[in-house]
Amino acid sequence: MKGFINEFKEFAVRGNVVDLAVGVIIGGAFGKIVTSIVSDIIMPPIGLLLGGVNFGELIIPLKPDLHIHTLAEAKDIGAPVIAIGQFINTVLDFLIVAFCIFMLVKGINWLKRDAKEQPEPEKTTKECPYCLSEIPLAATRCSHCTSVLDAKPENA
The pTM score is 0.56
pLDDT at 80: 92
pLDDT band with cut points at 50, 70 and 90 for residue 153: very low
Q: Cα–Cα distance between 133 and 127 in angstroms, integer?
A: 5
Q: Which residues contact 68 (CB under 8 A, 6 or more apart)?
A: 59, 61, 74, 77, 79, 81
Tens of pLDDT, residues 86-98? 898 888 888 888 8
Q: Cα–Cα distance between 18 and 9 in angstroms, integer?
A: 12
In this predicted structure, the answer to whether residue 156 has a pLDDT above a threshold of 50 is no
Give the H or E element holding residue 136.
strand 134-136
